[in-house]
Amino acid sequence: MVEFMTETTRRPTGVPRPAGAKWPTGPGSAETLPRPAAGGGTGGPAAFDGHDGHDAAVILERSRASVDPELRAAVASLPAAMRRIARYHFGWEHADGSPAAGNGGKAIRPALVLTAATALGGPPARAVAARAAAAVELVHNFTLLHDDVMDRDATRRHRPTAWTVFGENDAILAGDALQALALGLLAENPHPASPAAAARLAACVVELCEGQRADTALERRAPGEVTLAEVLAMAEAKTGALLGCACAVGALYAGAGEEEVGALDAFGRQAGLAFQLIDDVIGIWGDPARTGKPAGADLAARKKSLPVVAALTSGTPAAAELAELYARSHQQGEEERMTLVVERAGGRDWAQAQAADRMARAVDDLARAVPDPANAGGLLALAEFVTRRTS
Amino acid sequence: MVEFMTETTRRPTGVPRPAGAKWPTGPGSAETLPRPAAGGGTGGPAAFDGHDGHDAAVILERSRASVDPELRAAVASLPAAMRRIARYHFGWEHADGSPAAGNGGKAIRPALVLTAATALGGPPARAVAARAAAAVELVHNFTLLHDDVMDRDATRRHRPTAWTVFGENDAILAGDALQALALGLLAENPHPASPAAAARLAACVVELCEGQRADTALERRAPGEVTLAEVLAMAEAKTGALLGCACAVGALYAGAGEEEVGALDAFGRQAGLAFQLIDDVIGIWGDPARTGKPAGADLAARKKSLPVVAALTSGTPAAAELAELYARSHQQGEEERMTLVVERAGGRDWAQAQAADRMARAVDDLARAVPDPANAGGLLALAEFVTRRTS
């Protein structure tokens, strides 16, 4: 599962507002919608102009303030040994159990829950959705704990992953417990929206699992056997589903109807796909000085990222060349040539056009659910935040 | 997680009704309670006399008939790849996807849900509890999938474990999905008992995880450092908790009050501990011809089972001898001597007395929740079924 903006060296940049985005004429004007400052600038949250109070950094900070107590209370209810793993994973404790400043990621998902609730139900809905926001964040972190074990990832949020510190088994068990904690939080919540929220979150977990399974399976297959539709479906399940679910859960606590809930789910999914496309572009063309990863690391690892599969299935002469390069074992200095070949095969252009297209769809879905742009601004700011990255 | 009676060679025998069992004088007489036929006999479900319709084998069969459709429908909702793993694990399919006769274990937990519901609410409660019974069985099987990965167990229900067939990662993901499916089933169930049932089941998952963690941690520690209280607490979390939860969930769907729900939870926990004690006795003194495992296999593996820890902490000269034997690496033919030493240190007597004591407590708890013995007979038959094993 991908973490948003956890690389401090990755800073937001302007992913242009898609040209195709239609916004219904509402009481406000589209011009009142927050717009990112032009260009990459020095990046960071300050790059958002933040008028209308729809500054993503502010939204994230306020969300954290509401959700953190719920999250900490839930984790505090765990038996001591698993509580320790969870507190380490969330960055609240060091491995030795001493308090840590905490880097639990940007917590974009709980922010989506609260912002969706606010968009459709104002501050009262936001207040009742805080526990559900914590549940969504617990689910996200359960999948991170398990994915890190499966993917043998040694680093998460600049620290050793939980399984490297506490062992695989205990990390798996802590993940299991976080899932139970998440769905238990909703079961204990007497708000009338809770059963529907729990059902959606449970269904989302199944989709996240399928996304992770598909990801692993795709990476094992020969490059020529992977279709673009498969990689897109995997990315939607693995990244889009929980972003969509977060928005839908927020809508439920605002008492929204099925259509609005579905439209906000679609908004989150499309924004999640746009994020994944940009993330994959950065994985190939990102500036190592900013990404903190060596140039072409994804190519050296033969990752079947979206631009790569687009290139491989492009039917161009460069596609055949790339397939040949991908079939070979890694060779010193090959990344530069590979990068050029993916680009020549149209992988970069495709991914950027797709990302813009997904953002346009997201904006359409958002407009269906929240016709008043003044109310939709927060969600739009978050969507733009996650898709604004430097290359 | 231990599977009840899945070894076809293990047959029930008479674990004597504990002498201390008190049954309040109700409309019926204690004599009308079903009693197992005396002695081990040829074993098998036929060993139960089954008057009052409280034949455990019949209860299990009827329960399976009610729960199986719910279970299969839930599994059918999974994405194809995970559905296949789940269907294999439940014994409905072979590894190649072809249909199998099915050996999903005795499914004692869903039977406890339905029997508890019937005891407190009659057939109408039984009918509305079927989906919750499936949820409890899904949780049990999620823990089996994960435990097999963690314990590197290669065989389950006489077949290769799912992770040996589908790989560790996919088995972990299938387990994750089964947990979500279980809690999702309850979230989607509009019955007023569902939120409380889901909250109980989620809390139970956390306890099961803690039990598995404690088990692994205890096995890693030096024999002299493990206390009896720790091993009992571990066994209660790992085995007792879900049996208690199953009974409590059944009571909830019968509209039972907090006190009855709590008493049935306690009943299931105590019966679960009695089962674990007997299971551990069989692990040392069981007839290899019947258990299908070599004599003293648990001792050869230096397992810190309940009789062993009782022996080690007995303060007898035999305790010191056992500690010495346990500290040595495995030696050919040592099992016979070890078995005698555990027995001399009082491990066997302690475990059998404890099992009888736990059953007595279970019967007391049951009487608190279901004062009419005629209604309690089914639960009692199931408790005796799981604790009646040959040595």
Residue-level pLDDT at A188 = 98
Residue-level pLDDT at A27 = 35
- Ramachandran angles phi, psi of A176, nearest 5°: -55, -45
CB of A146 within 8 Å of a chain B CB? The answer is: yes
* Of the listed ranges A26-40, A192-206, B3-17, B198-212, the one predicted with least confidence: A26-40
Residue-level pLDDT at A279 = 92
Helix (H, G, I), strand (E, B) or coil at A18: coil
Give the model confidence (pLDDT) of B238-249 as tens digits: 999 999 999 999
Give the model's confidence band at B200: pLDDT under 50 very low, under 70 low, under 90 confident, else very high. Answer: very high
Q: Which of B176, B213, B214 sits opposite A146 (nearest CB)?
A: B176
Give residue for tokens 């979230």: B187
Residue-level pLDDT at B93 = 96
Q: Which of B150, B198, B213 sits opposite A187 (nearest CB)?
A: B198
Q: Which of B169, B190, B194 sits opposite A216 (nearest CB)?
A: B169
Helix (H, G, I), strand (E, B) or coil at B36: strand
Give the model confidence (pLDDT) of B320-349 as tens digits: 999 999 999 888 889 899 999 999 999 999
Look at A205 and B180 and tell me if their CB atoms are within 8 Å: yes
Q: Is A16 a residue whose pLDDT tops 70? A: no
**Residue A48 Cα, gap to closest chain B Cα (Å):** 38
Mind giving me the DSSP string for A289-345? HHHSS-TTHHHHTT---HHHHHHHTS-SHHHHHHHHHHHSPP-TTHHHHHHHHHHHT
CB of A81 within 8 Å of a chain B CB? The answer is: yes
Residues with Cβ within 8 Å of B66's Cβ and at least 6 positions away in sequence, in order, are B114, B126, B130, B133
Contacts A213 to B, Cβ<8 Å = 79, 81-82, 169-170, 173
* Of the listed ranges A89-98, B7-16, B233-242, B288-297, the one predicted with least confidence: B7-16
Residue-level pLDDT at A29 = 34
CB of B85 within 8 Å of a chain A CB? The answer is: no
* Residue B98 CB-density burial (10 A; 0-12 exposed, 13-18 middle, 19+ buried): exposed
Q: Is A42 a residue whose pLDDT tops 80? A: no
| C-alpha to C-alpha distance for B311 and B348, rounded to whole angstroms | 8
Residue-level pLDDT at B383 = 96
Residue in chain B closest to A205 (alpha carbons) equals B180
Residue-level pLDDT at A389 = 60
Look at B184 and A203 and tell me if their CB atoms are within 8 Å: yes
CB of A65 within 8 Å of a chain B CB? The answer is: no
What mean pLDDT, rounded, does chain B reach? Answer: 87
Which whole number is the average pLDDT over A98-104? 84
* Of the listed ranges A37-46, A142-151, B98-107, B367-376, the one predicted with least confidence: A37-46
| C-alpha to C-alpha distance for B5 and B12, rounded to whole angstroms | 8
Long-range contacts of residues B152-160, Cβ cutoff 8 Å, at least 24 apart: B156/B3, B156/B6, B156/B89, B157/B3, B157/B6, B157/B91, B157/B103, B157/B104, B157/B105, B158/B6, B158/B8, B158/B103, B159/B91, B159/B103, B160/B95
Q: Is A231 a residue whose pLDDT tops 90? A: yes
Mutate to test the interface with A, among B147, B206, B207, B210 (most CBs of A within 10 A): B206
CB of B205 within 8 Å of a chain A CB? The answer is: yes
Give the model confidence (pLDDT) of A268-291 as tens digits: 999 999 999 999 999 999 888 877
A386 closest CA partner among A113, A107, A21, A46: A107
What percent of chain B has pLDDT above 90?
A: 75
| C-alpha to C-alpha distance for A1 and B196, rounded to whole angstroms | 31
CB of B177 within 8 Å of a chain A CB? The answer is: yes
Residue-level pLDDT at A32 = 33
Which whole number is the average pLDDT over A67-87? 97
Look at B202 and A187 and tell me if their CB atoms are within 8 Å: yes
Helix (H, G, I), strand (E, B) or coil at A19: coil
Q: What is the ipTM of this complex?
A: 0.88
Which whole number is the average pLDDT over A253-271? 98
Q: Is A229 a residue whose pLDDT tops 70? A: yes
Q: Which of B186, B205, B216 sits opposite A176 (nearest CB)?
A: B205
| Tokens coding A72 | 């900490």
Calculate the alpha carbon distances from A67 to A87, A128, A187, A190 in Å.
15, 11, 17, 18
| C-alpha to C-alpha distance for B240 and B274, rounded to whole angstroms | 9
Give the model's confidence band at B384: pLDDT under 50 very low, under 70 low, under 90 confident, else very high. Answer: very high
Q: In 10 A of CB A360, how many CB atoms?
A: 18
Residue-level pLDDT at B304 = 95
CB of B76 within 8 Å of a chain A CB? The answer is: no
How many interface pairs between A and B have CB atoms less than 8 angstroms apart? 149
Look at A180 and B78 and tell me if their CB atoms are within 8 Å: no
Give the model confidence (pLDDT) of A337-386 as tens digits: 999 999 999 999 999 999 999 999 999 999 999 999 999 999 999 999 99
Residue-level pLDDT at B158 = 87
Q: Is the pTM of this model over 0.90?
A: no
Contacts B177 to A, Cβ<8 Å = 205-206, 209-210
